[in-house]
Structure 1
Amino acid sequence: MKQKADHQKADEISETELLHHVRLSINTKFQNWVLFKNGTYIIFEQADEISNLERKALKLIKQFGPVYTERSEDFDVTDLKNTEGWIVSGHGYGIYTYVSPQEIKSKKPDTTIIGLYGRGKRDLDGRNPIIIHINRQNYPQRDHEK
């Protein structure tokens, strides 16, 4: 097993692992999405109508990402079939957060624990949005991405 970087906590997953699991969690018919540092991602079904996915994603995560205690939001937790972990969805269409089993302390976590953890990650992405990947169908790669 690889050692994690000194700055990475034992319960965190690397950006490479995160991207891998998110790719496997998204239905392949959705080719346009943006992934944030803490695991929140936004799927764009009508991306042809959006000239700048990055700008649109930042607008949406700032609007729907932060969690406010005075607003009790419902969330759904979905077990993943193509990879390990869960997806937490909630307020804001097309916005999901990936939660890895290694991030959850319990051996058999219930949906409330997973959901609250996912909401916490989404809150982090909403308050300090850092995009780590943009996936766009037919999007020309830059030289350094090839």
Structure 2
Amino acid sequence: MMTAVNTDALIAVWQRLLADPRKSWVLFEHGTCVVLTAPAGDLAVQAGEILAEFGPVSAGSPAGDFSVIDLKDAEGWVVTGHHNDVLTYVAPDEPHEQSHIVVGLFGRSKRHQDGTELRVVHVEDKRAPANPA
């Protein structure tokens, strides 16, 4: 069961974790962030296309795989999957147990939910502004 999501808190965590001033990223409702290494056009659309392909979980495929990263700059964990730029934040109060397997499965389920619902809650556009002629 998913807990209620505090969007402002999620944005603050990702801003702290992705402090690189050149990184554009898009945050989805349940905590999944897509980092755009080649941002172009509408960033929400671009991230949505990536997450639609790499977010949903298929058991027995690479889409079911995950890794758990213990965070140094925030409380909680980041769960990765089969796309290096799709990351899901799990807060310390979310999983019922804090073992890596439980945290990973919880984060994977959040990624699946974001990958099927595709509800953008924040866009961090770090592209350099165009120079006026």
Q: Same-fold call, TM > 0.5?
A: yes
Aligned length: 128
Unaligned runs of 5+ in 1: 1-8, 141-146
Higher Rg of the two aligned structures: 1
Residue among 86, 106, 119 paired with 1:117: 106
**Structure 1 counterpart of 2:14:** 22
With over 3 angstroms needed to count, the CA separation of the structure-2 counterparts of 1:51 and 1:82, relative to structure 1, is same
Q: CA deviation at 1:138?
A: 4.5
**How far apart, in 2, do the equivalents of 1:118 and 1:91 lie?**
13
Corresponding residue for 2:38?
46
**Does residue 69 of structure 1 match 2:31?**
no
Q: Distance in 1 between matches of 2:3 and 2:34?
A: 24
Task: Tell me how far 1:68 sits from its aligned partner.
Answer: 1.5
Which letter does structure 2 place at the counterpart of 1:58?
A: G
The residue type paired with residue 43 of structure 2 is L
* Distance in 2 between residues matched to 1:86 and 1:25, nearest whole Å: 11
Where does structure 2 lack aligned partners over 5 or more consecutive residues?
A: none
The Cα of 1:29 is off from its aligned counterpart by: 4.6
- Superimposed CA distance per residue, residues 70-116 of structure 1 (whole angstroms, 9 cap, x where no aligned partner): 4253211111111111000011230000000111122xx11111100
CA contact (8 A) 1:30 1:45 kept: no
Which moved further from structure 2: 121-130 or 24-33? 24-33
* 8 A Cα contact 2:5 2:30, kept in partner: no
The aligned counterpart of 1:96 is 87
Shift of 1:53: 1.1
TM-score, normalization by structure 1: 0.79
Given that 2:80 and 2:87 are in contact with CA atoms closer than 8 Å, whether structure 1 keeps it comes out as: yes
- Percent identity between matched residues is 31
Q: Distance in 1 between matches of 2:66 and 2:109?
A: 12
Report the RMSD for the aligned CA atoms in angstroms: 2.1
User: Residue 78 of structure 1 contacts residue 87 of structure 1 at CA under 8 Å; is this kept in 2?
Assistant: yes
> Distance in 2 between the 1:91 and 1:75 partners?
7
Equivalent-residue separation in structure 1 for 2:70 and 2:106 (angstroms): 15
- Equivalent residue, structure 2, for 1:35: 27
